[in-house]
Structure 1
């Protein structure tokens, strides 16, 4: 079921790793951000969208991990955007993403996976993109400043630890730099939507940043972070 978290912004959470789909109302229709995750849940999401009575006009993938590259034919044949870097990775890794999706939930429609378009310079999406180099190539948050909402992608979760990209060097510096960019974007927002886990509101937003910074600081000191979130390093 969709939960309204701000004016024209709804969230639906999957049972799979607490994944969040965000729906944004625009003047033209609805924009879907990171829809997921099982085929049954995507069908239920389509039912929820029917209740809103507006067409889906675009999708947005915050980064090119398989669980953020999903789609369903009922959402329509509309542009599905990602940053140019993320779109390139998604295209190259499409078969791998399809295989991972099939293994995770066999009822996921495989054909639409990773069919994303590089976001043009004029940005047809609502809000402002906040790009950074943490977690995944081409990762971008979406700031809806007029609604007081920041969609953070796979950052600032209350259930997942900060996941540095093991395939790229410099993540120890890139991750704190990304938090700096996101914190600047979040200074006037009331709602923070992570890719996985609970929505943060009010003072909880600052707490998310503090928790992730503490985790990263412990890693830099060579310590095991005192962090009980799911996905903690063994």
Structure 2
């Protein structure tokens, strides 16, 4: 069910990799951020949203990976936004995202995956400030709700996922460092951090999440093995080895 984490901000977590669907109340209605994952969960999210009694006016995708490109007809035929780069990448990779969704989850409306348009220059109707960067995925964006002390971080600052570099693009260590600096500026002004996957962080835990990602990336930069409790999960071995490969001096 939806859990309210701040004024006008609700989170519903999926069983699939602890994915967080976020509902944000804007001036004109609700904005659904990265809704997911399984079809039954999307349907239950629609029930939760119906109970709020406020119309959905838009969707927002933090980045163009399949699990952040989902939608359900019950949310309505409303605009679904991303950064310009994110929307373009999602369109180009839509068939691949559909195939990955069909393989990884169940009951997802495949025909609705990745139908994104670039967010207008004024950000309307998505509230807050969009912080775009190049870490993890093309056109990745966080949503900074300064008036509510909330940062929606996308696939960053998780307690369960290590930083995952985009193996297809060079310079990801530097990109991640730059992204963490930008997110850190916002994080100093928030009490609640919602990652794309994992537990919601509150209070001092926000700074701890930022420090953990910094420490991991710093170790990669130095060519050292990171000391990170998140690596105790065996299934992260593959992404971690990919990160180590990316971090070699020739890869930037």
SS in 1 for 2:62: coil
**Structure 2 unmatched ranges of 5 or more:** 242-252
Counterpart in the other structure of 2:244: none
Greater alpha carbon shift after TM alignment, 223-232 vs 180-189: 223-232
Counterpart in the other structure of 1:226: 227
Paired with 1:37 and 1:225, the residues of 2 have a C-alpha distance of: 30
Greater alpha carbon shift after TM alignment, 23-32 vs 84-93: 23-32
- Report how many residues are paired: 234
Residue 54 of structure 2 is aligned to residue 54 of structure 1: yes
Paired with 2:137 and 2:4, the residues of 1 have a C-alpha distance of: 28
Where do residues 65-214 of structure 1 align in structure 2 (5 Å cutoff)?
A: 65-124=65-124, 125-214=126-215
Shift in Å, 1:27: 2.7
SS in 1 for 2:188: helix
SS in 2 for 1:40: helix
Which string of whole-angstrom CA distances, capped at 9 and with x for unpartnered residues, describes residues 51-83 of structure 1? 101111000000000000000000000000000
Greater alpha carbon shift after TM alignment, 103-112 vs 155-164: 103-112
Paired with 1:122 and 1:189, the residues of 2 have a C-alpha distance of: 23
**Structure 1 unmatched ranges of 5 or more:** none
Counterpart in the other structure of 2:23: 23
Which string of whole-angstrom CA distances, capped at 9 and with x for unpartnered residues, describes residues 155-179 of structure 1? 0000000001111111111101100
Shift in Å, 1:28: 1.6
Aligned alpha-carbon RMSD (Å): 0.9
Shift in Å, 1:106: 3.0
